[in-house]
Amino acid sequence: MVQLQFCALAVLGALVAASPAAERRVHVVKSSLAEIPRGWALHGTPPTHHTIKLRIGLPQSRFADLERALFQVSDPAHPNYGSHLSKEEVEALVAPQPESLAHVEEWLASHGFAVDALDRSPARDWITIVVPVHQAESMLNTKYHVYKHTESGMEIVRTQSYSLPEYLHPHVDVIQPTTMFGGGLRAFGITSHVEVVAAVPGNETDTSCATQVTPACLQQLYNTANYTPKATDKNSIGITGYLNQYANHADLKTFYQKYLPAAADSTFTEVVINGGQNLQDPSQSGAEAALDVQYAGALTYPTPNTFWSTGGSPPLAGNPAPGQMNTNEPYLDWLNYVLQQPSLPQTISTSYGDDEQTVPLDYATRVCSEFAQLGARGVTLFFSSGDSGVGPGGQSDKSQCVSNDGNATPKFIPAFPVSCPYVTAVGGTTGKPETAVDFSGGGFSNYFAQPSYQSSAVNAYIAALGATNAGLYNKTGRAYPDVAAQGTGFRIFEGGKESSIGGTSASSPTFAGVISLVNDALIASGKPPLGFLNPWLYSGGYKALNDITSGNNPGCGTAGFSAAQGWDPVTGFGTPDFKKIVAALGLNV
């Protein structure tokens, strides 16, 4: 042990000596914003004792190998299809180079941190420190301010730019919270595009989804009604919860008593992360959490259901006590937790997102790479595509649809994390026969390139589109959504009362529920779960979906995109058909 410590210190010393002292004092901008993101306003100066939890992301040395492995285990034509990686195999691929570790540790030590006491991720690719704002400002050669979100009233502590010594730049991918404001983060269902109204009396026996949505109508519509899960000891489904959205056990029981009596005595497992809470007071329940848990559970019963309650977005009000955190970056909190778990639900649904351009590119890239780790481990990740069509404002208003790079260029506004190419994006439909719902988010990323798995389908749509919307979207960007499901008129119970709600936040847990049943059938047959769905989907799996060919998603003063035969940026390849999907996978259920 003494010899190992001596060697480590020798390496560290050699690396430090290799960097001239003058170079180590010169800070160069690492990340900056051209302007305060729209929706936020400068509000003041944080107290010097206000603490910040800084996460330092070190370069993942073999991420290209991880990505290659992800596509191999997800491609039905590859010999490694279904051979998902273990937690330890993934961690080995994303571990930073020793040189990066040494440089970052030396820098932290120079600011008074004990290297052997640092909070690290299992792969050592993240280091987390808690510092008072004045120390963060010194380390990053910046100035933090309090910014207020004009719509929600949320206050956060951020900076528009931060710097690092130039020699550190190759050894640090990202440090947050710094320039990450968010839009703010919102649920794709609790928006101005969603009506929450009193439930319509009667119609409880309607199994068509034509007038309202219940578990029974979804089971009929998506062909799951006669399937009983068989692998409930191995298969499970997970739901993420943010922004003080709490799933209520009493509401779930009431929902089941009315719509799925056989499940009335079942519930979900709640896991609290980073200050999240388990509030069971009916007055504290949330419509988003109720929707996600009630429908994911009803469609997959008796499959185990986990709800993660993740904190991370408290307001900064008045004079916060020492130690108060303020991040509004719950994705990293959630990812940091789940990636440490030895086993995970095979299917996970998330109904939240930001405008992509409000998320710094370095942060978005790193979060996206974390999703790739989950996919490599065999997890199917679903994200709602958004409830603003191609951008806010509908067909009558294009004032909000401009770039935030200082040039105010007219453009459609894609969403994140749904624009990440390692997740499956779910758009919305309505009625029967199904058509695209007009708020279904869809478009093309300005951050992430179009992945090869979708090039043929997407480019065929773009070619048919011609000059429509020219210049408003990025033809070479990752296109979304990939699939769709019902998104209006979902009956839920919230705070003991029944109501009707919609949004693509309903579509994502619905599609996830169907795929969770597919994973159950696969596992029960001795086969691996689907994992990252998109390569299978675009290579032929789409033939098992119901193609949606009518409707559009207006926004930004335009009619948006239109649904069409095959893939389109409104409903993707369409809605699920459980029996066709399992048949396409060679199963007889």
**Binding site listing for Ca(2+):** 547-548, 566, 568
288, 370, 494, 577: the catalytic one is 288
DSSP H or E run through 164: strand 161-165
**Structure tokens given for 369:** 């790479």
The residue to which tokens 């599609």 are assigned: 511
DSSP H or E run through 155: strand 155-158
CA 147 to chain CA mean position, Å? 24
How many helical (H) and strand (E) elements, i.e. helices and strands, does the chain have? 15, 25
SS (H, E, C) 517-571: HHHHHHHHCCCCCCCCCHHHHHCCHHHHCECCCCCECCECCECCCECCCCCECCC
**Structure tokens given for 216:** 């029974």
| C-alpha–C-alpha distance, residues 552 and 344, integer Å | 36
Contact 520, 539 (CB under 8 A): no
The partner residues of 562 in beta bridges, in order of sequence, read 552
| C-alpha–C-alpha distance, residues 517 and 534, integer Å | 17
75, 137, 292, 355: the catalytic one is 292
Contact 441, 416 (CB under 8 A): no
To the query of whether residue 288 is one of the catalytic residues in this protein, the response is: yes
| C-alpha–C-alpha distance, residues 249 and 118, integer Å | 38
To the query of whether residue 505 is one of the catalytic residues in this protein, the response is: yes
SS3 573: coil
In 285-363, DSSP assigns E strands to 305-310, 347-350, 352-355
* Distances 333 to 74, 149, 177, 274 between C-alpha atoms, Å: 26, 21, 12, 7
74, 505, 516, 562: the catalytic one is 505
Contact 459, 566 (CB under 8 A): no
CA 531 to chain CA mean position, Å? 16
How many C-alpha atoms does 350 have within 13 Å on its Cβ side? 27
The partner residues of 27 in beta bridges, in order of sequence, read 165
DSSP H or E run through 128: strand 126-132
In 262-368, DSSP assigns E strands to 269-273, 305-310, 347-350, 352-355
Instruction: Show Cβ contacts of residue 391 under 8 Å, excluding neighbours closer than 6 positions.
Output: 400, 401, 411, 412, 413, 443, 555, 556
| C-alpha–C-alpha distance, residues 127 and 57, integer Å | 7
Quote the Cα angle for 56-58-62, to 5°. Answer: 155
Tell how strand 347-350 and strand 237-241 pair up.
parallel
| C-alpha–C-alpha distance, residues 400 and 65, integer Å | 40
To the query of whether residue 91 is one of the catalytic residues in this protein, the response is: no
- Whether residue 20 is preceded by a cis peptide bond, meaning omega within 30 degrees of 0, is no
Active site residues: 288, 292, 505
